[in-house]
Structure 1
């Protein structure tokens, strides 16, 4: 029976050297998107791990997934646990040493790795800060975003919904501008609806920013190559009728 459909890999078909990965996986789960972003930031800055991404399963449950050497992953997960506990939002955590390849095929824990292989060096810190404000209800998040943009020199980069009515808006700018905008946004969110969480991430790593939602209008389109026709149809050449040589009158020759 073929087991290759739907990403299932037969155990016997895997070489013994490739049956387990050389890296470990670390997962920390919280309620609230701003909290999981700040938790991931703490994990990244505590050790040399790579952020695979965020998994959102509804009802506000969010999980940050990192990978790297086992020792580095354990340090990162512990840092994430401590940060989430301080925020009062920790749900669960897990470290998986040498995950089986079939696990990485099925679950969304293998994405974002091609870029890491192309750029193995540690990602750089951004000179700007990120601000995340979470509300319950869409009108509150739209009103808060409008108030923040009008109060400070910040850029609205995207928003995220994670179920249970929770919406998060993401802004970017200098630390002082982001802090000022969030103060205004918090007041507006409370006026319209329910404020859930607020987070400021100073000097975020590029690794973190790549995993955050980005508005489509801010994504620069890559120039497309000029498509040339593969087959060029040649025009048919017109034939010119020449006079018969025998009828030509040559100079110095009499008829």
Structure 2
């Protein structure tokens, strides 16, 4: 059985004339939280993110126009609560050629199908963003030491903004984020934090993940076909068979000691009495 049969590739959705919704923030944790809210608010598909530098991130969703309007409204509200909202937009009937400026779909489908299975799936997500790399490393170290969490990856979006992504149980992630916030403020600048207790499957596919957490499926070793082995043995050249047979030397004849036949044939004397 090959690896592709163990974890089949997900087919890329055919959006056709589906509407497009976009919400932009200036923080990576904020865009993850915004995307999570949009997915849970309406029946939309998360196409992916666009990061254009200076901290600007945009979540792109597609679906029916009514669902898109609800998702964008809820996403904009969430981004404003995070105090990171930049802009939002809805395109009800996108032109087919508009796909040229929305390459996130094909990249995301290829990335998800090639990266295999994650060992951190179904765990809560914690994101902590700092301005400056030293503050990120210090916060990540404090989070790992304060609770049983795993550092899944880190993301940079420009303008000095770095985000550490941790996974674990909800209680551990909350405790770790709190410890990381204090350490980030001590070293440098804390920019944003986010905790998602139960990420949806679509959100899982878009989260950054280090290669050490990816489980590459291995092909199963099938038992050896005995009939095939017998066929190979029959087709083996005669010369090789002769080389495999060891001829033992014949033993030399040894003289055999025969008994005295005269003593055996001579009758016993009769008793005269």
TM bucket (normalised to shorter chain) is 0.7 to 0.9
Relative to 1, partners in 2 of residues 1:221 and 1:114: Cα closer, same or farther, differing over 3 Å? closer
**Aligned partners of 2:72, 2:35: CA distance in 1, in Å?**
9
Conservation of the 8 A alpha-carbon contact between 2:48 and 2:105: no
* Displacement of 1:98: 2.7
**Corresponding residue of 1:189:** 184
RMSD between aligned alpha carbons?
2.5
* Displacement of 1:99: 1.6
**Aligned partners of 1:44, 1:81: CA distance in 2, in Å?**
13
Residues 1:204 and 2:199 are matched in the alignment: yes
3-state SS of the aligned residue for 1:222?
A: coil
* Displacement of 1:142: 1.0
**Corresponding residue of 1:26:** 21
Relative to 1, partners in 2 of residues 1:152 and 1:204: Cα closer, same or farther, differing over 3 Å? same
**Corresponding residue of 1:134:** 129
**Aligned partners of 2:162, 2:139: CA distance in 1, in Å?**
11
**Corresponding residue of 1:81:** 76
Conservation of the 8 A alpha-carbon contact between 2:167 and 2:173: yes
- Answer with 1 or 2: which has the greater Rg: 2
Could you list the per-position Cα deviations for residues 16-38 of structure 1 after superposition, in whole angstroms to 9, with x for gaps in the alignment?
Answer: xx9x9331111000001001110
Give me the TM-score of the superposition, normalised by structure 1.
0.73
Equivalenced residue count is 204
Residues 1:103 and 2:86 are matched in the alignment: no
**Corresponding residue of 2:66:** 71
3-state SS of the aligned residue for 1:203?
A: coil
* Displacement of 1:68: 0.9
**Uncovered stretches (5+) of structure 1, i.e. residues with no partner:** 1-17, 117-125, 227-233, 239-255
Give me the TM-score of the superposition, normalised by structure 2.
0.69
1:52 aligned residue (42, 47, 54):
47
* Displacement of 1:236: 9.8
* Displacement of 1:190: 1.0
Matched ranges for 1:237-252 at <5 A:
none
**Corresponding residue of 2:231:** none
Could you list the per-position Cα deviations for residues 42-72 of structure 1 after superposition, in whole angstroms to 9, with x for gaps in the alignment?
Answer: 1010001111111100000000011111111
Residues 1:35 and 2:18 are matched in the alignment: no
**Aligned partners of 1:34, 1:115: CA distance in 2, in Å?**
21
**Uncovered stretches (5+) of structure 2, i.e. residues with no partner:** 1-13, 113-120, 222-234, 240-273
